Amino acid sequence: MIDIPPSTHNYSWLEQPHGTPYNSTVYLLQVTFMYLPSFYSCSYCHENFHFPFNTLSYHHKGGGPLPSTVRSEDFLEIPKRPAWCKVCNSLTLVEDILPLQDFENAYGAIRAGKSIEYPLHCRGKDAAEQIATCKALLEWRMNRIRPARALCCGGTQFLWMDTLQPLRRHADCEYGFIDPVWYIGSFCGYAHGIHSPADYRVYDPEGELVGNLTWFNQEAGSWALQELRYAPTLDWD
Ligand SMILES: [Zn+2]
Ligand SMILES: [Zn+2]
């Protein structure tokens, strides 16, 4: 059992290219951050609660019809936090969208050579690449209209799971609390998308689910993309 870290902005980046400046034709990808717990588990009955999808992504809707393939360089991660969706009654990820001022401050700091932890974590990345990524995130934030959405159903009814008082009673369990579990270990073998479909979700800049990435073509360096939408939600109360 691991205590939830006090900082909610402890982000690190997966090793993917992020140097492409944001423009109207690129896709914005959010990948599950490595700081996120692997899953959650009840301290009493040990029932596990998993995130309902692998990894997440953003797609810019201005580009017209969804293309059948996209490249890794077209993706940009945005911050997310673990939460409990009240609509789906499941663990989920919710967009972590701080005020525009935070993005502007971060962009100023990173251009001045300072390290930042939001909206991206600087550690171990090329400086020019970090600045370009931060600029892309700032431009995305400037254009974002909708409030943060739960990326399971697009709803806004959720509870953060990484707050300072994180104890969540397991509803079916007299003594159980739902705790985060991290698996820390080196990754070996092929990434998702090589031997099995990745199922990385693709969203537009407003958090609308538009597709998922299935197979990665190593020769072409591109992902196959298929259309995917949020399930229709009948009851929003
Ligand atoms: Zn339990
Ligand atoms: Zn949901």
The closest ligand to the CA of 168 turns out to be: 1
Residue 24: per-residue pLDDT: 27
CA of 88 to the centre of ligand 2 (A): 4
Q: Is the whole-model pTM more than 0.95?
A: no
Given CA atoms 215, 219, 221, 227 in this order, what sign does their dihedral have? Answer: negative
What are the Cα distances from residue 171, in Å, to 56, 128, 168, 200? 28, 48, 9, 30
Residue 14: per-residue pLDDT: 28
Task: Give the count of beta carbons closer than 10 Å to the beta carbon of residue 143.
Answer: 13
Residue corresponding to tokens 């999808």: 53
What the block records as the tokens of 28 is 């914005």
CA of 153 to the centre of ligand 2 (A): 4
**Per-run averaged pLDDT (10 residues), the chain, 237 residues:** 32 31 32 64 89 62 66 78 90 92 95 89 78 91 93 92 75 82 59 76 86 86 88 63
Please name every residue paired with 209 in a beta bridge, in sequence order, or none if there are none: 203
What the block records as the tokens of 209 is 């689910």
CA of 100 to the centre of ligand 2 (A): 25
Residue 235: per-residue pLDDT: 52
CA of 232 to the centre of ligand 2 (A): 11
Task: Give the count of beta carbons closer than 10 Å to the beta carbon of residue 18.
Answer: 23
Q: CB neighbours of 172 closer than 8 A, spacing ≥ 6?
A: 45, 47
The closest ligand to the CA of 235 turns out to be: 2
What the block records as the tokens of 134 is 């931060």
The closest ligand to the CA of 236 turns out to be: 2
The closest ligand to the CA of 178 turns out to be: 1
Residue 68: per-residue pLDDT: 80
